Amino acid sequence: MTTARHVAIIMDGNGRWAKRRFLPRAMGHQRGVEAVRELVRGLEGTGIECLTLYAFSSENWKREEEEVDDLMNLMRKFIKSDLPEFIANDVKLKIIGDWQALAPDIVAMLKDALEQTAGGSRTIAVALNYGSQNEIARAAAKAATAGDITPETIAANLDTADLPPLDLLIRTSGEVRLSNFLLWQCAYAEMLFVDTLWPDFTPAHLQQALDDFANRERRYGGR
């Protein structure tokens, strides 16, 4: 039985969750944030050392301005409301992606949150303005400046370089694609695509995913 050290989630389906209830999309995102909060609370006892969450992709800027604003405002609210709980629960925040390009006040809040949680032992890595192809290109450029471009030097320059290898990738909402998330890191990750819409995803769903993972045989090309 293997336990997953590093789990990543493509938190998809907020819009459809809202649509089914004839609610505005913003309400779906709001409930999505609540699902994140509950999941983080339920992490203790799962054995997960790092949970990486896809919160905003570099392609999500294509959405209507109103939705992007809603998402940014939710982010501001979430950092303010949940930072104390992160600190109290020994969570270390990490941000991956081109987050420094977000609004200056969000960048400042994130920097402060990173500093305040630096001593935590369980990592929550949030992908903000994240695109995997861009991450790989940046890593390759850094590797080239330092010397050789090899799989090892690229990996060492990815945003996730200091995280454990990715064990399990989960995507909610029934879509079966990666949407530019952790392409490099997924090379030998196990994958699980579930129909549950993100706002409905609970710690019990995560536990089910971990149980499923525990029964998989990972081969890495060997036999």
Catalytic residue among 14, 60, 105, 195: 60
Q: Which does 199 bind (CB under 5 to 8 A by kind): Mg ion, ligand IPE, none?
A: none
Active site residue 60: yes
- Taking a C-beta distance cutoff of 8 angstroms, is the pair 7, 203 a contact? no
Query: Pattern of binders to Mg ion over 38-67, x per CB under 5 A?
Result: ------------------------------
Active site residue 70: no
Query: Pattern of binders to Mg ion over 2-41, x per CB under 5 A?
Result: ----------x-----------------------------
Nearby residues of 222 by Cβ (< 8 Å), 6 or more positions away: none
Q: Which does 116 bind (CB under 5 to 8 A by kind): ligand IPE, Mg ion, none?
A: none
Please report how close the Cβ of residue 19 comes to ligand IPE at its closest, in angstroms: 7
DSSP SS3 for 90: coil
Please report how close the Cβ of residue 29 comes to Mg ion at its closest, in angstroms: 11
- Taking a C-beta distance cutoff of 8 angstroms, is the pair 126, 96 a contact? yes
Please report how close the Cβ of residue 15 comes to Mg ion at its closest, in angstroms: 6
Please report how close the Cβ of residue 179 comes to Mg ion at its closest, in angstroms: 8
Please name every residue paired with 130 in a beta bridge, in sequence order, or none if there are none: 57
Please state, in angstroms and rounded to a whole number, the distance separating the CA atoms of residues 6 and 168: 7
- Please tell me the count of residues contacting Mg ion according to CB under 5 A: 1
Please report how close the Cβ of residue 7 comes to ligand IPE at its closest, in angstroms: 15
Q: Which is nearer to ligand IPE, 83 or 178 (CB)?
A: 178
Q: Which does 10 bind (CB under 5 to 8 A by kind): ligand IPE, Mg ion, none?
A: ligand IPE
Q: Which is nearer to Mg ion, 56 or 86 (CB)?
A: 56
- Taking a C-beta distance cutoff of 8 angstroms, is the pair 161, 142 a contact? no
- Taking a C-beta distance cutoff of 8 angstroms, is the pair 46, 219 a contact? no
Helix ranges restricted to H, the chain: 14-20, 25-41, 65-88, 104-116, 132-146, 151-156, 203-214
Write out the residues near ligand IPE by the rule CB under 6 A: 10-16, 54-57, 60, 71, 173, 175, 177, 179, 198
- Taking a C-beta distance cutoff of 8 angstroms, is the pair 93, 118 a contact? no
Select from 212, 169, 194, 204 the least CA-distant residue to 13: 194
Residue closest to Mg ion (Cβ): 12
Q: At what angle do helices 203-214 and 25-41 cross, to 10 degrees?
A: 60
For Mg ion, the binding residues (CB under 5 A) are 12
Active-site residue list: 12, 60
